[in-house]
Amino acid sequence: MSENFFTTCQEQSGSENTTEILQCISDSIQEQAENRAADLHDFLYVLAGAMIFFMQSGFAMLCAGSVRLKNVQNTMLKNLLDACGAALAFFLVGFGFAFGGQSESTSTSFIGTTDFASVGDSAAFWFFQYTFSATSVTIVAGTLAERCQMAAYLCYSVVLAGFVYPVVAHTVWSNNGFLSLANVNPLINIGAVDFAGSGVVHVTGGTTALLATLILGPRRGRFFDAQGEPLDTPKPFPGHSVALQLLGTMILWFGWYGFNPGSALVLGIDEVGGIAATAAVSTSLSGAAGGVSALFTNLFLEERRTGEPHFSLLMAMNGALSGLVAITASCGVVEPWAAIVIGIVAGWVYLWTSGLLLRLRIDDAVDAIPVHMFNGIWGVFATGLFASPRLMQSAYGTDEFPGLFYGLVRRTNPANLLGCQVITILFIVGWTFVTMFPFFIWLNYKGWFRADSLEELVGLDISYHGGMDNKDGSVKKEYVEAYKRHKGALRNRRQSNTQHSTTSDGWRDSAATDADPDSDPLAAAHEAMKEDHSLRSS
């Protein structure tokens, strides 16, 4: 290698001047080292991005295990559509809105304006950021399970990945964002610290899930009976496979080691390896603490309530995921002891907010709102409490604005970072609300959002994916028969009355104005439930 450099430099210099040749060799070696470092950096981007993308499998398994058997295929297809819709939307407009033009200007901006239908300056960076976008989108999949139409779901995925999420990413992570720590004039002299996306990814996705659930409403029979009267206690709809739930949880935990340590690559500094290792340790400890905290706190509460201890696998899994979500904002800037504290509190936040949703009759099929939204908020807030000056110096080149607890001890700038974190939370929740809430209202108004009653009763697998044999017996025979009658009546009417047009939900036509069960899916559903009740009473 050195002989090649010597020969090349000797030919380029055209002389025997030793000093010139040595300088040429030094420059060539330096250039080669920089090229190899850049290649390695891109490779690590792709590797970390692949690990993050594998989290899509984890979400799919977790959601599939959490729903009833009659909705598994539909739920998994929605997870696949997340990845598809997010990829196309993020390529066409999302990346440009998030990071377009950040290298061309130092002025603060609300949204990117270049690099549309482009991967920008680095294909590796585009891929890495796409996987974050897809993760934010897929958070909503399980929340809306068993009652959301397919077309509405694909529309929402495109809007979130193409516009809503990119604005949040631009604001917090782009060099030009008004909340960005990398801004030349950062907010309150420091800007927000969201190392890997507790706020950008999880609060955005979780808030979207909450808004969608409020508009969509609960699954039928969850909080109200067939006559619409509220139940004394929510009816449990247990998932059909605990094994799939645990598999999904462990895949997600594995993917988090790409999510959190991989985000150190974005810093573009020499100490990336040490910061990534710190993030990996914090991720492990917080996830573990969250799982243990939720498991044993729930055990204590259940024993006090029922007199019998119950070790709940579901609580342990969601507690661990809560700890992972919460540490995502601060994984590179907090000490191990702080990561444990953050995880313990995350387990408690999950338990309290999960119970709160039930009391408010908000139906979250997989508890994604407590895990992602509320613990994402806790994670962003906790960064403002526990950020270590030593680790802030390593990651961001300044120890002037640490977390509140360190600032109080040092008596310098104790609340700057915490103030930025609170503003970041308010911005993300507010921006998601003003964009997605009207969108979901519009979808619901058009009749494109929720599956109708009979589709929900027989299951979305039968309704949307073909086949009415119900070989596994997961759907009551009476519901399937009512569904067949309704479909047959509707098909016959369309064949004999071609001048009548169907409405937007694809079910009701202009002639179907009476309460005939064969023409009205809601009446057919009630008729099927009456048949079922009469059979059981006899």
Q: pLDDT class for 514, splitting at 50, 70, 90?
A: very low
Q: Which domain holds residue 423?
A: 37-445
Q: What is the DSSP letter of 500?
A: S
User: Do 353 and 298 form a contact (C-beta atoms < 8 A)?
Assistant: no
Q: What is the pLDDT of residues 8-62, one digit of tens each?
A: 776 666 666 677 767 776 777 777 777 787 888 899 999 999 999 999 999 999 9
Q: Provide the residue type at 279 as one letter.
A: A
What's the CA dihedral at 238, 242, 244, 245 to 10 degrees? 70
Token pair listed for 13: 């210099």
Q: Does one domain contain both 467 and 343?
A: no
Q: Does one domain contain both 311 and 440?
A: yes
- DSSP three-state, residue 350: helix
Q: How far apart are CA 407 and CA 410, in angstroms?
A: 5
Q: What percent of the chain has pLDDT over 70?
A: 84
Instruction: Look at residues 418, 445, 472 and tell me which one is the last residue of a structural domain.
Output: 445
- The residue with tokens 């399970």 is 145
**Model pTM score:** 0.88
The number of distinct structural domains making up the chain is 2
The three-state (H, E, C) secondary structure of 179-214, written as one string: CECCCCCCHHHCCECCCCCHHHHHHHHHHHHHHHHH
Domain assignment present for 29: no
pLDDT at 528: 52
Phi, psi of 192 (to 5 degrees): -85, 145
Q: What is the pLDDT of residues 275-306, one digit of tens each?
A: 999 999 999 999 999 999 999 999 999 999 88
Domain assignment present for 17: no
Q: Does one domain contain both 430 and 482?
A: no
User: Could you tell me which residues come within 8 angstroms of residue 320 by beta carbon, excluding any fewer than 6 positions away?
Assistant: 249, 253, 287, 288, 290, 291, 294
Q: What is the pLDDT of residues 241-267, one digit of tens each?
A: 999 999 999 999 999 999 999 999 998
Q: Does one domain contain both 421 and 519?
A: no
pLDDT at 471: 58
pLDDT at 195: 96
CATH number of the domain at 96, please.
1.10.3430.10
- DSSP three-state, residue 509: strand
Q: What is the DSSP letter of 374?
A: I
Instruction: Say if residue 426 is exposed, middle or buried (CB neighbours under 10 Å; 0-12, 13-18, 19+).
Output: exposed
Domain assignment present for 3: no
Distance from the Cα of residue 215 to its chain's centroid? 19
User: Do 320 and 253 form a contact (C-beta atoms < 8 A)?
Assistant: yes
Q: What is the pLDDT of residues 463-474, one digit of tens each?
A: 888 765 565 566
Q: pLDDT class for 384, splitting at 50, 70, 90?
A: very high
Helix, strand, coil in percent for the chain, rounding step 5: 70, 0, 30
Q: Does one domain contain both 189 and 148?
A: yes
Domain assignment present for 190: yes
Token pair listed for 250: 């462990």
Q: Does one domain contain both 383 and 492?
A: no
- Alpha-helical segments (H) within 67-122: 72-89, 95-99
Mean pLDDT is lowest, of 2-11, 158-167, 494-503, for 494-503
Q: pLDDT class for 366, splitting at 50, 70, 90?
A: very high
Q: Does one domain contain both 439 and 469?
A: no
Domain assignment present for 179: yes
Highest mean pLDDT among 3-7, 348-352, 496-500: 348-352
Q: Does one domain contain both 298 and 411?
A: yes
Mean pLDDT is lowest, of 215-224, 406-415, 513-522, for 513-522
Q: pLDDT class for 509, splitting at 50, 70, 90?
A: very low
Instruction: Look at residues 445, 480, 514 and tell me which one is the last residue of a structural domain.
Output: 445
- DSSP three-state, residue 450: strand
Domain assignment present for 248: yes
**Positive or negative CA dihedral for 485, 490, 491, 493?**
positive
Q: What is the pLDDT of residues 389-444, one digit of tens each?
A: 999 999 998 899 999 999 998 877 788 999 999 999 999 999 999 999 999 999 99
pLDDT at 505: 42
Q: How far apart are CA 425 and CA 434, in angstroms?
A: 14
Token pair listed for 489: 């009546």
Domain assignment present for 463: yes
pLDDT at 430: 98
pLDDT at 535: 36
Q: How far apart are CA 119 and CA 116, in angstroms?
A: 8
Instruction: Look at residues 382, 412, 445 and tell me which one is the last residue of a structural domain.
Output: 445
Domain assignment present for 160: yes
CA distances from 459 to 37, 72, 74, 226, 483 (A): 53, 9, 9, 17, 10
Q: Does one domain contain both 427 and 463?
A: no
pLDDT at 468: 57
Q: Does one domain contain both 266 and 359?
A: yes
User: Could you tell me which residues come within 8 angstroms of residue 289 by beta carbon, excluding any fewer than 6 positions away?
Assistant: 323, 339, 340, 341, 342, 343, 344, 346, 347
Q: pLDDT class for 232, splitting at 50, 70, 90?
A: confident
User: Could you tell me which residues come within 8 angstroms of residue 166 by beta carbon, excluding any fewer than 6 positions away?
Assistant: 90, 93, 94, 95, 96, 97, 98, 111, 112, 133
Q: What percent of the chain has pLDDT over 90?
A: 60
Cα within 13 Å of Cα(306), Cβ side: 8
Q: What is the pLDDT of residues 138-154, one digit of tens each?
A: 999 889 999 999 888 88
Q: What is the pLDDT of residues 339-353, one digit of tens each?
A: 999 999 999 999 999
Q: Does one domain contain both 418 and 480?
A: no
Q: What is the pLDDT of residues 313-337, one digit of tens each?
A: 999 999 999 999 999 999 999 999 9
Q: How far apart are CA 448 and CA 148, in angstroms?
A: 9
Q: Does one domain contain both 380 and 485?
A: no
